[in-house]
Amino acid sequence: MAVTANPGPGQPTVDLREPAGWRRTKNQVATILMWAAFAITLVPLVLVLYTVIQKGASAISWQFLTGGPIPPNVLPLGVGGMGPAVIGTLEITGFAALMAIPLGVLGGVYLNEYGATSWLAKLLAFLSDVMTGVPSIVMGLFIFTIWILHFGYSGVAGAFALACLMLPIVIRSTFEMLRLVPDSLRQGSYALGATKARVTVTVVLPAAIGGIVSGSLLAVARAAGETAPLLFTILTVEATNTNIFSGANTALSTQIFVNATSPYVGAESRAWGSALTLIAIAFILMIIARVVTARFTRYTR
Amino acid sequence: MDQPENEVLPKLHVPSTALDVPAESFASPAVFNVDGVSIYYGSFRAVAHVSLTIHEHEITAFIGPSGCGKTTVLRTLNRMNDLIPGARMEGSIHYRGAGLYDTAVSPTAVRRRIGMVFQKANPFPKSIYDNVAYGPRINGIRGKGRLDEIVERSLRQAALWDEVKDRLGKSGLGLSGGQAQRLCIARTLAVEPDVVLMDEPCSALDPIATGRIEDLMQEIKAKYTIVIVTHNMQQATRVSDRTAFYSVLRDEKSDTRTGVLVEYDRTVNIFENPKDDRTQAYVTGRIG
């Protein structure tokens, strides 16, 4: 393992070590900084997860996850359950995803494949980016004004608000993923006599599908945890409502809000338990995303 | 390279057709009649006044220095330039008598007859099978038996079948450079085009892979008409029947560069008895 050697009499000694000096110091400093940044990033992530699990795990039971109705907040843990909120979250977020993902993917396809450099596409891309920055409560108020005032509270109204929130995220992530698809693939497809729609559907979208799926599921996970857009749109009731098209509904995120702001011990435990349930749902979604993406992208290397 | 160790050096490619046949002994029917073509990108004129005739079942080589417009001319032959915003053509190109740029002509219909192989192999991120079956599928061919047959035939034509027959379900991106380019050729042949345009197909390949593709071109030219752009003059002499030499014309006043067709003749004449001094200088290596 000698890094210095004397090649022979009369030959200069070869030293292949990095010479001590500013260059080596800089490299060491950079390495330490990277590790430090990594460690600091972990702190909030681990702490949040730890706190929620620590305070919420004791609340979780089959009864908690599926039972109902959600009891008044003065009652202790163990009465009723969060079942209605779990169902509400799944159906509202699911319906929102059903609206926002196809629309958002098509929007992204338009922006990158069809609009290209047209002023309309540029305007739409800009507006969609602005929409990403709109506070989520504004989406709730918007749906309240144009929908609730005419048709009353319903799960679908909440889904509309969440879809408004997801739409720009899906558009942006689709657009970025499509931009990464090399033009040579499009050209190869065109050269075989494919029409533009064919090129897009059979070559461009499959090449980008992994990123589109993960982008979309990120948007879903984000929407599932949103509270503000639902406050004005679903009214947050206690009983299960499987019909999202009529009548007030409920969701985990708004239940966390309602329970966490009440002073009773039972309500507090229910809030932590709901928080843990929500994180678990997001976790499961991410795992599904990984599996689905791996399946779709098995040919990319 | 996944070449066996005992593989002999690539054969010397001396195509009999290019050297032995007297220059004017026969002329097969014209596939393309290019007449006074100028091509613009926006206001920039890339190529000016190109006229030539490309003959059936021949290999026509386009040679010339960088920026002389040979690829540009090649891409107008199957309307790939339509995909570049601002590209525009003047003059006329007839493909087997039909105006290639007539208003009613569909570029996709053109490209189904006139396929293209690119400089950089561009297999789709799909399985080897799906890569080859892609063209037939978009042209409406369904049915496993039919497609299996086309995939095998095309891969055999492209001399790739023996290397990939046991892993047709594997990704096309996992192939080596030479194999990937042959896969792209197989993909092009799968739609049974009339003409195959090749844009420097061997520029990223080693001599052995290049030799295989050149062999393959000789084998398929009985069925197809081939136009190849190449920077490699030895390649042009090895494979082509006719050669078009392009050069760059520089306008001193406006400092713009335009590609022009200098000379077009049988390959043997271009390399052994060129009429133009510029051709002479280029093929003997006096200018780069």
CA distances from A280 to A47, A284, B181 (A): 16, 6, 47
Give the pLDDT band (50/70/90) at residue A23.
confident
pLDDT in tens, A97-124: 999 999 999 999 999 999 878 899 999 9
Rg (CA), chain A: 26
Whether A164 has a pLDDT exceeding 80, the answer reads: yes
Altogether, the residues listed in chain A come to a count of 301
Task: Provide the mean pLDDT of chain A.
Answer: 90
Q: How far apart (Å, rounded) are the C-alpha atoms in residues B219 and A118? A: 46
Q: What is the pLDDT of residue B16?
A: 44
3-class SS at A5?
strand
Whether A5 has a pLDDT exceeding 80, the answer reads: no
Query: Which of the residue ranges A3-12, A212-221, A289-298 would you say has the lowest mean pLDDT?
Result: A3-12
Using the Cβ of B191 and the Cβ atoms of chain A, whether some distance falls under 8 Å is answered with yes
Q: Count CB neighbours of A12 within 10 A.
A: 7
DSSP-assigned states of every residue in A35-104: HHHHHHHHHHHHHHHHHHHHHHGGG--HHHHH---PPPTTSPTTSS-SHHHHHHHHHHHHHHHHHHHHHH
A235 Rama class: left (phi>0) / alpha (psi -120 to 50) / beta: left
Q: What angle do CA B165, B167, B173 make, to 5 degrees?
A: 115
Whether B2 has a pLDDT exceeding 60, the answer reads: no
Using the Cβ of B27 and the Cβ atoms of chain A, whether some distance falls under 8 Å is answered with no
For B138, the closest of A117, A186, A194 (CB atoms) is A194
3-class SS at A3?
coil
A117 Rama class: left (phi>0) / alpha (psi -120 to 50) / beta: alpha
| DSSP summary character for residue A157 | H
| CA nearest neighbour of B193 among B112, B264, B271 | B112
A189 vs B contacts (CB less than 8 Å): 124, 134, 138
Task: Give percent of chain A with pLDDT exceeding 90.
Answer: 67
Residues 90-109 of B with CB under 8 A from A: 108-109
Using the Cβ of B187 and the Cβ atoms of chain A, whether some distance falls under 8 Å is answered with yes
Q: How far apart (Å, rounded) are the C-alpha atoms in residues B30 and B54? A: 6
Mean of the pLDDT values across residues B76-86?
91
Residue whose structure tokens are 């950079």: A30
Element of type H or E holding A136: helix A136-143
Q: How far apart (Å, rounded) are the C-alpha atoms in residues B288 and A227? A: 69
Give the pLDDT band (50/70/90) at residue B67.
confident
A108 Rama class: left (phi>0) / alpha (psi -120 to 50) / beta: alpha
DSSP-assigned states of every residue in A162-197: HHHHHHHHHHHHHHHHHHTS-HHHHHHHHTTT--HH
3-class SS at A6?
coil
Whether B27 has a pLDDT exceeding 80, the answer reads: no
For B134, the closest of A182, A192, A207 (CB atoms) is A192
- The answer to whether the CB atoms of A182 and B187 lie below 8 A apart is no
Contacts of B168 (CB under 8 A, 6+ apart): B127, B128, B129, B151
- Which pTM was predicted? 0.83
- Classify residue B41 as exposed, middle or buried by CB count within 10 Å of its CB (0-12, 13-18, 19+): middle
Altogether, the residues listed in chain B come to a count of 288
Task: Provide the mean pLDDT of chain B.
Answer: 86
Q: How far apart (Å, rounded) are the C-alpha atoms in residues B238 and A278? A: 69
Tokens of A247: 């009548």
Q: Prior bond to B107 cis, omega within 30?
A: no
Mutation site for A-interface testing, chosen from B120, B126, B132, B184 by largest number of A Cβ within 10 Å: B126
Please, what sign has the CA dihedral across residues B96, B102, B108, B109?
A: negative
Query: Which of the residue ranges A12-16, A90-94, A282-286, B164-168 would you say has the lowest mean pLDDT?
Result: A12-16
- B209 touches B1 (CB < 8 A): yes
3-class SS at A261?
coil
Give the pLDDT band (50/70/90) at residue A192.
very high
- The answer to whether the CB atoms of A184 and B120 lie below 8 A apart is yes
Strands A14-15, A4-5: parallel, antiparallel or unpaired by DSSP? antiparallel
Q: How far apart (Å, rounded) are the C-alpha atoms in residues A127 and A107? A: 12
Q: What is the pLDDT of residue B8?
A: 44
Q: Count CB neighbours of B198 within 10 A.
A: 27
- B229 touches B201 (CB < 8 A): no
pLDDT in tens, A215-257: 898 899 989 999 999 998 998 888 888 888 988 899 999 999 9
Tokens of A182: 């090399």
Map chain B to HEC letters: CCCCCCCCCCCCCCCHHHHHCCCCCCCCCEEEEEEEEEEEECCEEEEEEEEEEEECCCEEEEECCCCCCHHHHHHHCCCHHHHCCCEEEEEEEEECCEECCCCCCCHHHHHHHEEEECCCCCCCCCEHHHHHHHHHHHCCCCCHHHHHHHHHHHHHHCCCHHHHCCCCCCEHHHCCHHHHHHHHHHHHHCCCCCEEEEECCCCCCCHHHHHHHHHHHHHHCCCCEEEEECCCHHHHHHHCCEEEEEEEEEECCCCEEEEEEEEEEEHHHHHHCCCCHHHHHHHCCCCC
Q: What domains appear along chain A, each with residue ranges and CATH number?
A: 90-296 (1.10.3720.10)
Whether B5 has a pLDDT exceeding 60, the answer reads: no
Give the pLDDT band (50/70/90) at residue B159.
confident
For B108, the closest of A188, A193, A300 (CB atoms) is A193
pLDDT in tens, B176-235: 888 999 999 999 999 999 999 999 998 888 888 888 889 989 988 899 999 999 988 889
Mean of the pLDDT values across residues B33-47?
91
For B173, the closest of A186, A187, A299 (CB atoms) is A299
pLDDT in tens, B94-151: 999 899 999 999 999 999 999 999 999 999 999 999 999 999 999 888 889 999 999 9
Shortest alpha-carbon distance between residue B166 and chain A (Å): 16
